[in-house]
Structure 1
């Protein structure tokens, strides 16, 4: 990056941190630190919810996902609007009425302490691990730019987020996210415009999209029902609905965002805002990846985008073999470029036969480059069995750093940092609130002073920050970050959602029944996921339904008086 880019990057990050600390004010008690005094307006809530979900992984990995796999990932979000409606009708008013700090407090009122502790524990595991991934994503950028190991960049980014989250609490998180999302929307818009501008003069937006479609990248909707297919309209509507409902309804990182709303109406409007904007936003981010794909049909991309892995193999005894493949790849790319230009010209003729012929020839040329690339990855694996053969996280980064003008590179890099900081800060805040409210305050040290709980919240934030940084150091081994985070959530979200569905709608089910059902279900889901029995999105629906069915089935085994006493206490 140029000096201008470094100045833009540093100024943006510094402004965000200072702004968040300034707006957060002084936190005098746990309610202000964890809930922001429950005073946020709907647009704060909506942007904070979006920023929590849209981590650096979204802006770093999603374009790469579209580049390699097409637009079909957008189907993952099709169940989101329906989930937002259910949340607004059911979850939000109940949480507000009970004045809870965390979603899991409600479960003790409805069931018992062990059920609350179990769901809190499952959340802490899932969110602690996935937050490490969101810290790792921007560390890739710094390590690529500075050509240093991701260990050092991960430690730097993690420390930065921990600082302002510990100091300012949830208000610092919310106010920084408001500014972060504004900058992110602006930067991604300019990135999309510039990709189109950099395309050859005779291509343009329409032909670029059409070209990508001819190579199978505009696969937005897949109507075929296939339980082993990760992304189709059915897995998106059904599995995605259960995942989104569980994520926004039971994951404290999100529940904590809309519980800061000043009223039920403000929280509802914030969630509706998220439901209306998320799919178009994700579609446009993936579309940028499609445009980058089209751009690289006319401009030679690296044979492998992860420069670190390339340097490793080039400094080994396999360097000559890898260099030979790079030469073959350059030749194959020129052939593919010629075929791409021929297909673009065929579009102008509107002759279906000529277009089909050009498409067929381009697919052959594209397969040749793909085969050479696969062979190169094989060489990397022979040199180092632990080498990461998935470089989708580096596709957009490579384009940004090599082709965008000075200043905008710094802004785009800052955007990826901001997205990571926003989602990571929310996660740390939620991990702290769950640890303190559901574990420390309820079980370990009940009846302590507000100052004691405030200090414990800050200490818990630091603790989870260290844990998440530790997970981030492992994240290089997980492949595409965007998919991994969603897969990880699918192992747990269905079980937690099932517990909440029983709590809300099946009033006769007792605590022992739902606790045992949750334990059995979680074991079952882990086995199904490990064996790859079905595509991971379906695990959310299976988990939720299993908890309900098992709880209903074994509920008669437990005495009726348990639910009667609980009902009187509620």
Structure 2
């Protein structure tokens, strides 16, 4: 990288961290540290909520997801507006009425302490793992760019986040996320403009979209009902909606963001803003991935996008075999480019030629086979030498374009996008993990009557502790097939169960604590078992369905357990907004 890129990257990160520390220098109570100053307007809430969800993984993996699989991942977000409306109507008013620090406080008021504790533990486990992933993702990129040891890079990124999160708590997270979202949106927009500008003169955006469509990349909506399919309209509207209901309604990393709003009305507007704007934002990021795909149809694309793997193979006994593949790949790539120009020429004359399109797609399939052969070579070498080389390279697609084709200075800006996103989501996670640990576990069950200074000190200590643990997780994480999927898979293992508990709390007033607690334990065991069965290919079940299945199982079992063994000694708790 050029010196100017390092200056741009360093300046943006230093300004964000410094701004967060400066704006929260007067935070000196536990309430202000964990809940913020509660002065955020609706637009700031919306940006904060979006920034929490939009991790570095979003900007590394989503374009690569589109490059490999097309636009169908966009369906994942179709349930988001529905979830936002339901939360604004049924959930958020209760949180404001009860004046809670965490979502799990509500469950003790509704059920009992053990139900509150187990849901808090579910959150701590899954969000703690996810925090490791959000540090690990950008660390991979920086380590591969400058040749640093991955563990050292993890420590560097984690340190930046921990500094201002420990310093200012919720207020620091909320203050910095506005700047981070500005950097993110600006950077991605510039990347899109450069992609369009670097297409051949005779290839416009409409031509690029047509080519992507002919190659099966514009497959936004899939109406086929298939439980094994990761992304279709049914898994999105059912599984996806339940995932978002649980994530935004019960995950403390999100609840904490909107509980810092001025009032209930501002919070509702902020969530609705997120529901409306998030979908086109994700579609836009996917479309950037599509444009990267089209861009590499006219520029030489690597046989394998993870250059570290390529360097390793080229120094092994597999080097001649890999070189032959590269030679064949370049030959096919040149043939395909000619076929693409022929398709474009036919389209401009309004004479689409099916034979030309079929030839183009046949060459694309041949290219894909060569890429798979390259991955097989890498896998063979990895197995023979007991290494852990990851053959999936989709997460390296976008950063390859950034590093090789963006002008000097803008490379630093796009890297700042990745690190800003990593810092915003990781800071939110550490902040939420600390709040849940202090409020739902430490203060509630261990040290109940200490001073406010003690709880403030412990809040900062647990923020630091979870930061260290996230770094530990990041050290031992290996790449999944796609990082954006990895985060959602981890969430889907727990979100359905937790959402089921909350659904019982809101809509099944006769069910008491013992029944829902037992249902949550059994339900989580079933969800994990289903995931393992899918992982071992005993069954075929896309992970998004785990959110719906987990929620339904908990509700069903809670009703059965309550009917089998009525809890005569448990007081009936009635919570309403009219009380």
Does TM, scored on the shorter chain, surpass 0.5? Answer: yes
8 Å CA contact 2:207, 2:344 repeated in 1: yes
1:297-318 deviations in whole A, cap 9, x for unaligned? 0111111111111112122222
8 Å CA contact 1:158, 1:469 repeated in 2: yes
8 Å CA contact 2:110, 2:575 repeated in 1: no
Structure 1 equivalent of residue 356 of structure 2: 358
8 Å CA contact 1:29, 1:450 repeated in 2: yes
- C-alpha separation in 2, matches of 1:567 and 1:308: 59
Aligned-pair distance for 1:555?
A: 0.2
Deviates more, 1:534-543 or 1:337-346: 337-346
Aligned-pair distance for 1:551?
A: 0.4
- C-alpha separation in 2, matches of 1:538 and 1:429: 29
Structure 2 equivalent of residue 545 of structure 1: 552
8 Å CA contact 1:243, 1:493 repeated in 2: yes
Structure 1 equivalent of residue 537 of structure 2: none
Structure 1 equivalent of residue 18 of structure 2: 18
- C-alpha separation in 1, matches of 2:346 and 2:520: 58
Deviates more, 1:395-404 or 1:337-346: 337-346
Q: Which consecutive unaligned segments of at least 5 residues does structure 1 have?
A: none
- C-alpha separation in 2, matches of 1:481 and 1:168: 29
Secondary structure of the equivalent of 1:478?
A: coil
Q: Aligned pair in 2 of structure 1 residues 167, 431: CA closer, same or farther (>3 Å)?
A: same
Deviates more, 1:247-256 or 1:31-40: 31-40
- C-alpha separation in 1, matches of 2:122 and 2:292: 39
Secondary structure of the equivalent of 1:27?
A: coil
- C-alpha separation in 2, matches of 1:504 and 1:364: 54
Aligned-pair distance for 1:343?
A: 1.4
Structure 1 equivalent of residue 269 of structure 2: 269
Structure 2 equivalent of residue 484 of structure 1: 486
List aligned pairs for 1:45-124, cutoff 5 A.
45-124=45-124
Secondary structure of the equivalent of 1:479?
A: coil
Secondary structure of the equivalent of 1:225?
A: coil
Secondary structure of the equivalent of 1:223?
A: coil
Q: After TM superposition, which residue ranges in structure 1, 4 or more long, deviate above 6 angstroms?
A: none
- C-alpha separation in 1, matches of 2:566 and 2:347: 73
1:462-503 deviations in whole A, cap 9, x for unaligned? 111111111112333323100111111111100000000000
8 Å CA contact 2:35, 2:259 repeated in 1: yes
Structure 1 equivalent of residue 206 of structure 2: 206
8 Å CA contact 1:34, 1:170 repeated in 2: yes
Q: Please say if 1:444 is aligned against 2:446.
A: yes
- C-alpha separation in 2, matches of 1:413 and 1:475: 22
Structure 2 equivalent of residue 554 of structure 1: 561
Under a length normalisation based on structure 2, what TM-score does the superposition of the two structures give? 0.96
Aligned-pair distance for 1:564?
A: 3.1
- C-alpha separation in 2, matches of 1:89 and 1:230: 29
- C-alpha separation in 2, matches of 1:470 and 1:568: 41
8 Å CA contact 1:509, 1:563 repeated in 2: no
1:510-558 deviations in whole A, cap 9, x for unaligned? 1000001111110111111111241111110111111101101110233
Structure 2 equivalent of residue 373 of structure 1: 371
- C-alpha separation in 1, matches of 2:570 and 2:191: 57
Aligned-pair distance for 1:127?
A: 0.3
- C-alpha separation in 2, matches of 1:396 and 1:473: 23
Q: Please say if 1:405 is aligned against 2:411.
A: no
- C-alpha separation in 1, matches of 2:78 and 2:273: 15
8 Å CA contact 1:80, 1:240 repeated in 2: yes
Structure 1 equivalent of residue 131 of structure 2: 131
8 Å CA contact 1:126, 1:488 repeated in 2: yes
Deviates more, 1:86-95 or 1:319-328: 319-328
Aligned-pair distance for 1:559?
A: 3.9
Secondary structure of the equivalent of 1:297?
A: helix
8 Å CA contact 2:510, 2:572 repeated in 1: no
Structure 2 equivalent of residue 520 of structure 1: 522
Once superposed, what is the RMSD of the aligned Cα atoms? 1.4
- C-alpha separation in 2, matches of 1:485 and 1:187: 23
Under a length normalisation based on structure 1, what TM-score does the superposition of the two structures give? 0.98
Secondary structure of the equivalent of 2:37?
A: helix
List aligned pairs for 1:256-335, cutoff 5 A.
256-335=256-335
- C-alpha separation in 1, matches of 2:356 and 2:526: 49
Aligned-pair distance for 1:563?
A: 4.3
